[in-house]
Structure 1
Amino acid sequence: MHRSRPARTLLMTLAALTALTTTACGNTQDPNDDEPAPATTPRDRPTTSRSAPQPPSSSPADGTDAGACTDGNCEIAVTEPVTIRFPAPGDAGRATLSVTKVGPNEIEYEVKSGNNRSNGGASGPGQGCLTYLRDRGSGNSCGTLDPARPSPRPGAVVIQATTGTDGTALLHIVSP
């Protein structure tokens, strides 16, 4: 069977690219090095996709004291249902955050401020919800979250609830 010149050139090019790719992905070792090169794993390889965030820290800034949130700025770990009252945005008085369920990789909560209500819930490693509480309404966004403290927003209280693998959820309340 005879192959045309372009087909042979294409096959030779593909073979060369395969060899280069295989060599580029392998481990290299300095011949003067006495220790073997470490085996690469998928974690060692660079990636462009976003990896899942780490679970909440076991020692958040304000610990586990829900009383630290009464000023509208805190970072606490919760392991059971809790109710937190803090200043609402605008002239709405006080807002209430009620964590209704906490478990391994799970959190559910409700926020009330004046006549506004918002529910949030997430399950799975690194999952959570952001609630933006404003004087004329609120909104939620749930999914994979970075457990780091969210940025303050003008005219809004930001509530972030992130799940933890050990049944500890991390709450952030950030007021402007």
Structure 2
Amino acid sequence: MAARTSVRAGLGLTVLTAVAVTGCGGPDETDGAPPRDGRPSASRSAPSSTNSSGSGSPSAKPSVSAAYGSAVAACSDGNCEIAVSAPVTVRFKSPAGPATLSVTEVGPNKVEYTVKSGNGRSQGGAGGPGQGCVTVLRDHGSSNVCGRLDTARPAAQPDAVVIQMTAGADGTAILHIVS
């Protein structure tokens, strides 16, 4: 009888663990954000530090290739793919007017950033192999999700700007901005 009780307790613990891992993290289909795959992300708020130089050009040369290399100015129209390997500030157009994305930290399998658009602010941060964040800016708000991503270009959304940062193992992140 004690064996049955411990088997039931173990089964109950397994079910509770599965429910806790699955949680409420279903796909965010309204904003085109990637579905969560059941793995916990290392998402957290970004620190308030920013690139004070405002130069817009990273100091280290990225080791992965992107459509526009590391040319931050290519993002000013709200459409670009660049490689980022150091803190940088990117200015671009959003549905709420001018927007600023401040990449505050980039490292091996790690990225953190803050986006300011209109009166809104959104933060994203992720760490681990293949981790990253997607932020969707709209005229009256934004959404943000972090987790496992790939470096494929995100889909455009009507009346929105989609920002995707994917951390790389070598300390270079791929930034996509899609209007």
Q: TM-score range by the shorter chain?
A: 0.5 to 0.7
Task: Check conservation: 2:76, 2:92, Cα contact below 8 A.
Answer: yes
Query: What's the offset of the Cα at 1:146?
Result: 1.9
Larger Rg: 1
Aligned pair 1:77/2:109, yes or no?
Answer: no
1:15-94, aligned counterparts within 5 Å?
58-89=64-95, 92-94=96-98
> Residue 144 of structure 2 is aligned with which of 140, 145, 152?
140
Q: For residue 176 of structure 2, what is the aligned residue in structure 1?
A: 172
Structure 1 length as normaliser, TM-score? 0.66
Residues 20-71 of structure 1, C-alpha deviations (whole Å, 9 max, x = no match): xxxxxxxxxxxxxxxxxxxxxxxxxxxxxx8xxxxx9811101011011001
Q: What residue is the counterpart of 2:129 in the other structure?
A: 125
Letter of the 1:73 partner, please give it. Answer: N
**CA–CA distance in 2 between the matches of 1:124 and 1:93?**
33
5+ residue gaps, structure 2, are 1-36, 38-61
In the alignment, residue 63 of structure 1 is paired with which amino acid?
Answer: G
**8 Å Cα contact 2:63/2:170 also seen in 1:** no
Q: CA deviation at 1:120?
A: 0.3
Residue identity opposite 1:86 in structure 2? F
What is the count of residue pairs matched by the alignment?
120
CA distance in 1, matches of 2:79, 2:99: 13
Take 2:91 and 2:122, find their aligned partners in 1: how far apart are those partners?
15
Runs of 4+ with deviation above 4 angstroms: none
Superposition RMSD in Å: 1.8
Is the 8 Å Cα contact of residues 134 and 146 (structure 2) preserved in structure 1?
yes
Residue 153 of structure 2 aligns with which residue? 149
The percentage of aligned residue pairs carrying the same residue is 69
Asked whether the 8 Å contact 2:63–2:172 carries over to 1, the reply is: no
Give the CA deviation at 1:155: 1.0
Distance in 2 between residues matched to 1:161 and 1:58, nearest whole Å: 14
